[in-house]
Amino acid sequence: MVYSVVTLPPSCTGNVVVEVAMEEAALRSNRPPWRRTVAVQVALCVAMYAAFSLGEPRLHRHPPGGGGVEASLGRGGGVSFLSVAGGARSPIEQARLLRQMESIAKAYEVKFVLDVAQLGEEDPLWQNGSLYFQALKIPWYSTTSSHGQIIGNFLKKVKMPYDQNLEIISMDTGPLQEPIHDGKISASSREQIKWLEQSIAVSSSNWKIVVGYDPLVVCTEAYTPKTAKFYEPLQHIFEKYAVSAYVSMGGFCGCFRRDNSMLYIGNPSPDDQTGPDGFLLHTVNPLEMESQLINLEGKVVERSVVHHHGLEAL
């Protein structure tokens, strides 16, 4: 670029300065304003993100397609697992159920699945579900009704953050439903109760969850909180050894039923017309266990939280 110097008379100098200033102002006004706006917005977003990150940990995660499912994973991390009621479903409904379970299992790094089924490994959902989840390397465990044979019971221990453990204690509840004669329970029922108490007594796990097929909560048809009754021998064991929850099939009492610090969780049955079919996502961290009932559309229908024993008063 070539510049030329021109000497102007003094009378013209003021006019030239004014014209140059007006031209520079016009050029500045023609510059695109969006650059400055975008820069300011980016700076504000970065500042807000930093403030939230420094303030509190993230308490919720939203999985893709989860339909509002949330898990309290921010309090030191946790362990997630699924529970679902076995039974026969149509091919379309079973496919929808397994797809939703797969989506949640991937999003929350689920460790295992509890298939609450009377037929055990003969259950149709267990057979298809365990095969469907092979690629995810997520094992399926099934409750069994083995007519009093202890071999049908199992124990599973899972490590948690901060040197804590979650222990799943699954038992055959079939013998517990046998009728009482002369005020006495059957020998097979006593054997199951003895095995359960011995297994819980030697457990040093922080979280103890008992799993069985039959619900231990009995409600009348006109259900009110005062009409619920619990199977007394097991209720005594649960209280004595600080069991956190009992997971089973659903009943007339609904999906969640509390008894002091104990939570009874009932999985919805495909044969039950009183509520939606679906499954449960359980997330256990050092402070609490959150359970969410998810329907076939991936929406959260109901949720409940049970605190770790000793923290209820905090």
Give φ, ψ of 24 to 5 degrees.
Answer: -65, -40
DSSP annotation of 204 reads -
Q: Which two tokens stand for residue 181?
A: 């004669």
Least confident of 18-32, 80-94, 113-127, 160-174: 18-32
Q: What span, in angstroms and rounded, lies between the C-alpha atoms of 253 and 215?
A: 9
Q: Is the confidence at residue 169, as pLDDT, over 50?
A: yes
Q: Is the confidence at residue 3, as pLDDT, over 70?
A: no
Q: Which two tokens stand for residue 137?
A: 């390397």
Residue found by looking up tokens 């109901």 in the block: 302
Residue 42: what pLDDT? 47
Quick one: average pLDDT of 250-260? 79
Quick one: average pLDDT of 64-68? 45
Nearest to 269 by CA among 79, 131, 117, 164: 117
In angstroms, the Cα distances linking 233 to 6, 180, 190, 194, 196 are 109, 13, 10, 10, 11
Q: What span, in angstroms and rounded, lies between the C-alpha atoms of 269 and 174?
A: 17
- pLDDT-derived band at 223 (thresholds 50, 70, 90) equals low
Quick one: average pLDDT of 3-17? 44
In angstroms, the Cα distances linking 140 to 2, 25, 126, 253, 291 are 82, 73, 7, 27, 18
Residue 44: what pLDDT? 46
Q: Which residue has the higher pLDDT, 64 or 140?
A: 140
Residue 215: what pLDDT? 85
Provide the 3-class DSSP secondary structure of residue 13.
helix
Q: Is the confidence at residue 30, as pLDDT, over 70?
A: no
Q: Are 80 and 158 in contact (CB under 8 A)?
A: no
Q: Is the confidence at residue 173, as pLDDT, over 90?
A: no
Q: Which two tokens stand for residue 280?
A: 């449960």
Quick one: average pLDDT of 88-94? 91
Q: Is the confidence at residue 82, as pLDDT, over 90?
A: yes
Q: Which two tokens stand for residue 302?
A: 């109901």
Is the entire prediction scored with pTM above 0.85?
no
Residue 37: what pLDDT? 55
Longest dimension (CA), the chain: 128
Provide the 3-class DSSP secondary structure of residue 183.
coil
Q: Are 152 and 145 in contact (CB under 8 A)?
A: yes
Q: Which residue has the higher pLDDT, 120 or 82?
A: 82
| Domains of the chain: residue spans and CATH | 79-307 (3.60.21.10)
DSSP annotation of 119 reads B
Q: What span, in angstroms and rounded, lies between the C-alpha atoms of 41 and 184?
A: 75
- pLDDT-derived band at 231 (thresholds 50, 70, 90) equals confident
Quick one: average pLDDT of 283-296? 93
**Count of all residues that appear for the chain in the document:** 314
Mean per-residue pLDDT over the chain, rounded? 74
In angstroms, the Cα distances linking 46 to 52, 53, 202 are 10, 11, 52
Give φ, ψ of 214 to 5 degrees.
Answer: -85, 140
Q: Is the confidence at residue 109, as pLDDT, over 90?
A: yes
Quick one: average pLDDT of 163-191? 79
Q: What span, in angstroms and rounded, lies between the C-alpha atoms of 22 and 132?
A: 74
Q: What span, in angstroms and rounded, lies between the C-alpha atoms of 305 and 178?
A: 32
Q: Are 286 and 162 in contact (CB under 8 A)?
A: yes
Quick one: average pLDDT of 47-63? 34
- pLDDT-derived band at 273 (thresholds 50, 70, 90) equals low
Q: Is the confidence at residue 50, as pLDDT, over 70?
A: no
Residue 246: what pLDDT? 93
Residue 84: what pLDDT? 95
Q: Are 58 and 97 in contact (CB under 8 A)?
A: no
Instruction: Report pLDDT digits (tens) over 124-136.
Output: 999 899 899 988 9
Q: What span, in angstroms and rounded, lies between the C-alpha atoms of 174 and 118?
A: 9
Provide the 3-class DSSP secondary structure of residue 149.
coil
Q: What span, in angstroms and rounded, lies between the C-alpha atoms of 111 and 283?
A: 10
